[in-house]
Structure 1
Amino acid sequence: MVTTAAPPRRSRSDEPSLGDIVTAFPVATLVVGPDNRIANANVRAETLLNMARSAIIGSDIARTLRLADIDGRYDVWNSQKPLAAYDVQVHAGRTAAMEVDLMIAPIPDFDGWRVISIHSKSEAQKLAHRRTGGGTRSAMGAAAILAHEIKNPLSGIRGAAQLLDSGDDDGASALTRLICNEVDRIAALIDRMQDFTTERALQCRPENIYPLLDRAAEVAIAGFARDIRISKNYDPSLPFALVNGDALVQIMINLLKNAAEALVQAERPVTRPRIRIVTSFRHGMSVMLPGGKGNASLPIEILVIDNGPGVPDHIREHLFNPFITGKRSGQGLGLALVDKLVRDMNGFVQFQRDAEAGETVFRILLPMGIA
C-alpha cells in the first residue's frame, strides 16, 4: 500500500509570507508585472473574475479587466503612481459589467510592478447608492424650494425690524437686534442648502493654503471651539494648491466644527479635547476623474484630527450624504457640503478611524497649483 505524507503543519511561531497574506487577503488582489501581465492572483480574484487562477496568471491586465467608461484605458494600467478609481464600470473576465473601486499601488524598488485591488459593490451597497442618489436630488429640490419660499420673506422681516428700531428704547432695540440676528441665522442656513443646487464650476487658482487654514482656525477658536486646544503641524515646503479660497475656508470651518461638536457632545467626556490640523505633500497620489477625463494628481494633503469618540458605525458608509448625522441637534448638511466643495475643486475627502490612537481623521487631497 502506498501512502502519501501529509503536508507539514506550520508552527504557531512561523510567520506568514507575503504570498500567504495575498492569498488570504479578503479583497480581490492581482500582482501585475512591467509587461502588464498578471503574475499572481488570490482566491477572491478568481471568484470575482469567474476564472481559474491558471487562466488569470499570464493574461494581459487590460484584457482581463476591461474598463467600460474610461478613455485612454492603457494609460491607467501603465501608471507608475498610486491611483484610486471609484465607481468604475468594468467587464471582469467572463462576468457582466460591474461597478467597482480600483486601487493601484506600485511596489517600491520593483520598477513596473504593481498591486491592484478590486473592491466590488454588493447588491445592498448598490441599493444604498441608489437611495443616496435620490436623497441628494431630493435635497437639491428641497433647497431650491426653501430658498424661493423662505428667503424673500426673511428679507422683508429683517427690513421691518430695522424700521421699528428707533434707538430710543434699549429694550426694543435688543429685541429688534435679536430678530435681525435670528433672520440672518436662518438666511445663512438657506444659503448653505442653496449650495447643493448649483452646478456652477468653482473658480480655482493657485493659493497658499496656510492663511486660509489659519482663518478657519481663528473662527473656530473665537467661537465653537474656544474651549478646545487646536494645534497646527504644517509642512513648510508645501507648494501652492489649486483651490477656491472661500470654499476651502468653508470646508475647514465645517470640519473643525464637526470635530468640536463630536468632542463636546461625547457621551463620555474627553479629558483633554484636542483638534490637530496637519498638512503634508503626498508624492504620486492621484485619482481618476469621472467621465473618462483622465487622472488628477492630488499631492496636497490636509488632515483634521480629533481625539473624540468617532462616528457611529451605522452611518459611516453614508457620512457624506445630506441629512445624515449622528448628533442630537445636527442637520446633516456640513459634511455633505464639504464633500461637494472638495469634489468641485477636483479633490477628494475621506474619513477614517484610527482605533489604536483613539482619533478620528478627515483627510482632504487637493491638486497642486503653480504660482
Structure 2
Amino acid sequence: VGATVSDHDMTLECPRINKQGLTVQGSPLLGEAGSVILVLQDASAARSLDRQLGFRSAARSVAGMAAILAHEVKNPLSGIRGAAQLLEASVHPDDRELTVLIRDEADRIRALVDRMEVFGEKPVTFAPVNIHRVLEHVRRLAQSGFAENVRFAEVYDPSLPPVLGNRDQLVQVLLNLVKNASEATDGTGEITLTTAYQQGVRLAVAGSNARVDLPLVVAVRDNGPGISDDIRPHLFDPFVTSKPSGSGLGLALVAKIVADHGGLIEVDSRPGRTEFRLHLAMHTDDGASQI
C-alpha cells in the first residue's frame, strides 16, 4: 500500500542564516506506527525554475505583440514622422516645437517596438565563452560611459571553465545588469563582479531523464538602496519598472536570454546590497551542448 506524502512550504530562520524558504515533505514510516519521515529541501531553486518558465512564456507574449505592432504601428509611424518633417519646414516658428514633439514621439514608439522585437524566437548559436573576457568588456564599456564614476571590484575564480553560451547575448545580459546597478547607486557607488564554481544546481530536461548541471555562477552586486518589496516579485515581468523613463523590458530580456541559455537567474536584495546571480552551464571538453 502506498504511503501518503504531504507537501508544505515553510520558512526557516536561524542566527547564522537569513530567512530560508523550504519545502517539507512528510510521509509515514512503514512498519513504524506513529513515525514520520521528514525531508527538507531548499525551495529557492525550484521557485527560480518556475519563474524562469513564466519569464519565457511572458517573453513569447511580448514577441507576439511585437509582431503585431511591427505591422500595425511601425508602418503608420513612418508616415506620421515624414508628415511631421514636412510640416516642420513650413510652419510658423511658434508651431515648430509641436512638429518636433510629434517626430520625437514617433521615434520613441518605434524604438520601443524595436526593443520588443528582440524577444522573438530566433535561432542562437552556442559556443565556449570566456566569461571573464565578457565581464572585462562590459566593465570597459560601462566605465567609458554611464558608470564612469562607479568603483568596480572584481572577485573572479581564474580556474573557471568556459561558459556554454552566445557571447553577444551574454554581453547584453551583463551590460544591462551593470547599467541597472549603476543607476541604483546614482552612478557613484560600488559594483562588484563575481564568478565562482558551485556544484549542486541541476535542472531536469523536459521529456527525458537527462539532467543539466549549472555550476558556473556570475554575479553583479551593488551597494544601492535595494529593490522595493512591491516591485521584487514582478522584477522580470515585461513592462514592470520603477524608473520614470524606463520601458520595463531590460530585465525581462535578461531573463529571456538566460532561459534560452538553459540557465537560472536569481536576485537577492536588501538595503545596501542587491545581487543578481546567473547560474550557467559549462562547455564540455567534447564540445557537446548541454542546453
Partner of 1:15: none
Between the aligned partners of 1:155 and 1:148, the Cα distance in structure 2 is: 12
Between the aligned partners of 2:174 and 2:21, the Cα distance in structure 1 is: 35
Asked if 1:345 is matched to 2:261, the reply is yes
Between the aligned partners of 1:359 and 1:85, the Cα distance in structure 2 is: 21
Q: 1:192 aligns with which of 87, 112, 115?
A: 115
Q: 2:182 aligns with which of 260, 272, 278?
A: 260
Between the aligned partners of 2:105 and 2:155, the Cα distance in structure 1 is: 37
Partner of 2:92: none
Q: 2:125 aligns with which of 199, 203, 207?
A: 203
Partner of 1:86: 46
TM-score (structure 1 length as normaliser) = 0.55
1:224 positional shift: 1.7
Provide closer, same or farther for how the CA distance between residues 360 and 210 of structure 1 changes in structure 2, counting only shifts above 3 A.
same
Superimposed CA distance per residue, residues 272-298 of structure 1 (whole angstroms, 9 cap, x where no aligned partner)? 511111111113332334455632111
Asked if 1:215 is matched to 2:175, the reply is no
TM-score (structure 2 length as normaliser) = 0.68
Asked if 1:143 is matched to 2:75, the reply is no
Q: Map of 1:215-364 to 2, 5 A cutoff?
A: 215-264=137-186, 273-292=189-208, 294-354=210-270, 358-364=272-278
Q: Is the 8 A contact 1:209 1:240 kept in 2?
A: yes
Structure of larger gyration radius: 1
| 253-262 vs 359-368, which moves further | 253-262
Q: Is the 8 A contact 2:225 2:270 kept in 1?
A: no
1:320 positional shift: 0.8
Cα RMSD for the two superposed structures = 4.1
Q: Is the 8 A contact 2:21 2:44 kept in 1?
A: no
Partner of 1:365: 279
Corresponding residue pairs, total? 246
1:325 positional shift: 1.2
Provide closer, same or farther for how the CA distance between residues 153 and 250 of structure 1 changes in structure 2, counting only shifts above 3 A.
farther
Unaligned runs of 5+ in 2: 1-13, 84-102, 286-291
Superimposed CA distance per residue, residues 117-156 of structure 1 (whole angstroms, 9 cap, x where no aligned partner)? xxxx9xxx9xxx99x8986555333211222345456778
SS of 2:231's partner is helix
